[in-house]
Structure 1
Amino acid sequence: MSTRIFNTTLIAALLAASGSALADRRADDEMTVRAKVVASVPVYETINEPRKQCWTETSGHETQTWRAAPNPGGAVLGAIAGGLIGSTVGKGNGKVAAAAVGAATGAVVGDRWNSGVVTESRPVQVERCSVQDNYRQVLAGYDVRYRFNGREFSARLPYDPGNYLTLNVSYRIAQDQRDKRWHQDDRS
C-alpha cells in the first residue's frame, strides 16, 4: 500500500513541477523593453454634424372673395326711394302703379347695392428650412514613430506615449526554418 501512496505522490509532484516549468518558460519567452519615441504627431478627423434651421417668411397674399349676405335695410331704403320717384310720374291710377313699380325696382337695386362682393387679402406665412453643415475636428489618435534595436517603426496609438514607449517583446523560435537551401548532414 505504501508503494501506491508513493507513486501517487510522485505523479502529483511531477505534474506540479511541469506546470510551473511551463509557466516559467512562458514568462521567459516574453519581456518588456523601452523604445525611444522619435516623433508623436496628433491626427485629427473632420466630423460633420449637419443642423436643420427653420424660419417663417411672408410670401405673397391670399385673396378671398365672397358675396355678402343680403341686407334688408338697403332693400327698404331702395323701396322708399323708388316709390317716391315713381309717384312723381303719371296721373291718377298710373301714379299708384308707377309708385309700385318704382318701389319694387328701388328695393331690388337697394338690396344689390348694399350687399355686394367682398374681397379680403391676407399675407401668407410660409415655413422655410435649410440644412447647414457643422464641421468640427476630433482627435483620432497619434501617429508615433519609435526606434528599437537600431530600426525605426511606426504605429497609431490612441494616446500620446511621451518620450518612451513600452514594448512587449517575445523571443520564440520560428516554425520550420528549413527550406530548399538548407541541407542535412550526409551522415543522417
Structure 2
Amino acid sequence: MKQLLTATVLLTGVLSVQAQTMIDTARVRSAEPQYETTRVPRQECTNRWQPERGGRHSQVYQEQEQYQERNQDAERRYGGAIVGGLAGGVLGNQVGAGNGKVAATAIGAVLGAFAGDHLDNRNARPAPPPAYPAQVYQTGGREGNRCQTVYETQSELTGYQVVYEYRGQNYSTFMRNNPGNRLKVRVSVEPIQE
C-alpha cells in the first residue's frame, strides 16, 4: 500500500511538471513571397523548304551547282581585246578619207576590241544560267521542320517568409500560404525548475 501511495504522488508530480499549451494570435509584420527559379526545356521548331534530291530535280540542282562553280572559276583576259582593238584600228584607218577616216579608225578599233575579247574569253565567260520550267521549282521539295531545344526560366511561388510579433518579440517562419494580418500561434507554458 505504501508503494501505491508513493507511485501516485510521483505520477501527480510528473503530470504537473509537463508544459501546458494554448492557442493565441500574433500580429503579422510582413509576408515576403518566396520563389524558386527553374529552367524548363521546350522544343522550338521552324518550317523550312527542303528541296528533294532525286530524279529530274536532282539534275536541276546539279546543273545549277555546276553553273555557279564555272562562274566562280572564270577569269577574264584582256590581251585579245587589246590586239583586236589595234587590228581593228589599223583596218579602219585603211577605209575612207578625211573625217571619215578618223571615224572608221575609231569604229574599227571598237569592233576589233569586242571581237578580240570574245575570241580570247569565250571559255572564261559565264554561261547563262540553265532555264527550267516553273513547275520544276514548284514541285521540287517539301516543307520540313527543324527543331531545337531551348530553355525558359520560370519562377514558381513556393511560399512566404513571415515575420510576426507576439508579446513584443519578433519571430520568423516559412509558410506555404499568406497568413494575412493575424496568425494563430501555439504558446507553451512550462515552469522552470530551480
* Interval of TM-score (by shorter of Structure 1 and Structure 2): 0.3 to 0.5
Larger radius of gyration: 1
**Structure 2 length-normalised TM:** 0.42
More helix by share: 2
**Structure 1 length-normalised TM:** 0.43
More strand by share: 1
- Which of structures 1 and 2 has the larger relative contact order (alpha carbons within 8 angstroms, sep 6+)? 2
